[in-house]
Amino acid sequence: DGNPEPSITWLYNGKELKENMYTYTQLITDSGDGSVKHGCLFLDKPTHINNGNYTLIVQNKLGRDVATASGMFMDNPFEPFDPEGIIPVPTNKSDLDVTENPESRVFVVSVAVGLAVFTCAFLLIMVLVINKCGQRSKFGIHRSSVLGTEDDLAVSLRFMNFGTSPPSSDEDSGLSSFVENPQYFCVQHIKRQDIVLKWELGEGAFGKVYLAECANLSPDCDKMLVAIKTLKDANESTRQDFQREAELLTMLQHQHIVRFYGVCTDGEPLAMVFEYMRHGDLNRFLRAHGPDARILEESKMPPLGQLTLPQMLHIAAQIASGMVYLASLHFVHRDLATRNCLVGEGLVVKIGDFGMSRDIYSTDYYRVGGRTMLPIRWMPPESIMYRKFTTESDIWSFGVVLWEIFTYGKQPWYQLSNSEAIECITQGRELERPRTCPKEVYLLMQGCWQREPQQRMVIKDIHSRLLDLVKNPPVYLDILG
């Protein structure tokens, strides 16, 4: 607010900030004569390279005012001295002077190399010390804290639990032996220099998840958007688990399983590259397209339309299709829930996570016996009581996923505490029919919730029933519900 109209300049870390199409002053209101302005410095998708102090200088011929704010957009996901991790920043004149001077370049390089050697030596010592102390931690550092040691019989890491449901002999195809010998699958390696991070998408159990642009992934397009899952604090053991998980993920290829492109292991942090699903996880998507979307704090955008019955059926059929595939590989997911599915362009839904997103959805998990966290609200009685996870227990969870879809992402048994929910499930009480759920779909849910695992519907039948319903959606009037 100033009269005569003041000029606005910005400094970034004390140096003049040159505005461009990605960083500019955005005025929201202007009094007309320019004396009162409201606005902000707009940064388009800032990353860690934009962290720093931003100073606003406002002046006219009568005086000047200065204020500084510090901007912290995200942590540097790369090692500080990893030259490939540094995203090129527009250099200003003084930086050019330094880099163009060969002596100072030699000096800078020597210091960087010295520090890198020191860091490596330090990390090596730390790794040795940690291993010596016997800290047992897999790529699922938290895996044991999630599933508990008794569940470690699962052959692989995290939730890659082949072998928990032994294949029956007639189905024991060549595929199963492939599954049990994932070394047959060649994990794609992606160069770090081909990846340019854009911004953070979320926090996973093992590290941050970023949106990035990746070059040379496919012959048809030179750059594409990908989601990068980073693994923080890798040691020798977590590295091995990481490699093993990558082999398993390489093997899972289906149109309703999120596509895994490969790993990036040249430098730190270790990263896995997945296809980017632009609408994020299905639970959030359902809530954003439900009746409560308006009051949800996160929806600052105009409220989106509510999902229709055919759309809900389409979502369910796609998850069922992914589950048919997993069941054909004797893969037991153990944590099927809408928070572990992802939504892409055109309402494409894929099973996207074989881990537990416990950070954002921590209330969906129940801690038992200290370290074990279980998604009890999605589990059948036999899994709750005996920790028995099978293809049939996945069917039960699929029924709960159907219920989530038709309640626009409500938490199952939301009105009950964890111990009350356990009591209800083990005593045989069923989730109620959601208001918008046709009888035909509720029958499917009930088919998934048979107490006897062998009496539950099989996923192939559920899938084909859902496809029929997609083709001929039942006529349904909410007022009759």
Tell me whether residue 82 is one of the annotated catalytic residues: no
> Which two three-digit tokens encode residue 43?
């940064």
Q: Which of 280, 87, 269, 140 is nearest to 201 (CA)?
A: 280
Q: Which stretch binds ligand ADP (CB under 6 A): 42-50, 198-206, 246-254, 438-446?
A: 198-206
Q: Which stretch binds ligand ADP (CB under 6 A): 44-52, 178-186, 268-276, 298-306?
A: 268-276
**Least separation, in Å, of the C-beta of 193 and ligand ADP?**
22
205 near ligand ADP, judged by CB under 6 A: yes
**Least separation, in Å, of the C-beta of 212 and ligand ADP?**
11
Q: From CA 240, how far away is CA 160, in angstroms rounded?
A: 14
Q: How many degrees, rounded to 5, is the angle at CA 105 between CA 100 and CA 108?
A: 140
Contact 206, 228 (CB under 8 A): no
**Least separation, in Å, of the C-beta of 352 and ligand ADP?**
6
Cα–Cα distances in Å, from 135 out to 138, 269, 429?
10, 20, 42
Give me the residues paired with residue 260 across strands: 274
Residue with tokens 């938490």: 411
58 annotated as a binding-site residue? no
Sequence-distant (6+) residues with CB within 8 A of 296 are 287, 288
357 near ligand ADP, judged by CB under 6 A: yes
277 annotated as a binding-site residue? yes
Residue with nearest beta carbon to ligand ADP: 204
340 annotated as a binding-site residue? yes
Q: Which of 314, 315, 333, 313 is nearest to 323 (CA)?
A: 333
280 near ligand ADP, judged by CB under 6 A: yes
Q: From CA 447, how far away is CA 458, in angstroms rounded?
A: 9
**Least separation, in Å, of the C-beta of 451 and ligand ADP?**
31
Q: From CA 320, how far away is CA 459, in angstroms rounded?
A: 7
Contact 30, 24 (CB under 8 A): no
Tell me the residue length of the chain: 481
Closer by beta carbon to ligand ADP, 307 or else 342: 342
Contact 226, 245 (CB under 8 A): no
Query: Which is the catalytic residue, given 151, 335, 364, 394?
Result: 335
171 annotated as a binding-site residue? no
36 annotated as a binding-site residue? no
355 near ligand ADP, judged by CB under 6 A: yes
Residue selected from 247, 268, 353, 382 as contacting ligand ADP according to rule CB under 6 A: 353
Q: From CA 407, how far away is CA 393, in angstroms rounded?
A: 21
131 annotated as a binding-site residue? no
201 near ligand ADP, judged by CB under 6 A: yes
275 annotated as a binding-site residue? yes
Residue selected from 157, 277, 316, 395 as contacting ligand ADP according to rule CB under 6 A: 277
114 annotated as a binding-site residue? no
Q: Which of 336, 352, 315, 354 is nearest to 394 (CA)?
A: 336
Amino acid identity, residue 339? R
Residue selected from 179, 195, 197, 209 as contacting ligand ADP according to rule CB under 6 A: 209
Q: Which stretch binds ligand ADP (CB under 6 A): 87-95, 122-130, 200-208, 403-411?
A: 200-208
Residue selected from 157, 273, 342, 448 as contacting ligand ADP according to rule CB under 6 A: 342
Q: From CA 326, how far away is CA 351, in angstroms rounded?
A: 10
364 annotated as a binding-site residue? no
- How many residues touch ligand ADP under the rule CB under 6 A: the total is 21
Please state, as a whole number, how many other Cβ atoms lie within 10 Å of the Cβ of residue 68.
Answer: 12
Q: From CA 306, how far away is CA 408, in angstroms rounded?
A: 9
Give CA 463 to chain center in angstroms: 26
271 near ligand ADP, judged by CB under 6 A: no
Closer by beta carbon to ligand ADP, 41 or else 225: 225
Q: From CA 266, how far away is CA 364, in angstroms rounded?
A: 36
Q: Which stretch binds ligand ADP (CB under 6 A): 60-68, 236-244, 275-283, 380-388?
A: 275-283
Site for ligand ADP in 211-250 (CB under 6 A): 227, 229
Residue selected from 179, 251, 258, 373 as contacting ligand ADP according to rule CB under 6 A: 258
Closer by beta carbon to ligand ADP, 249 or else 309: 249
Q: From CA 430, how far away is CA 57, in angstroms rounded?
A: 63
**Residue 129, SS3?**
helix
Q: Binding site for ATP: residue ranges?
A: 202-209, 229, 275-281, 339
Annotated binding site: 202-209, 229, 275-281, 339-340, 353
Which residues are near ligand ADP by CB under 6 A?
Answer: 201-202, 204-206, 209, 227, 229, 258, 274-277, 280-281, 342, 352-353, 355-357
Catalytic residues: 335
Known binding residues for Mg(2+) are 340, 353
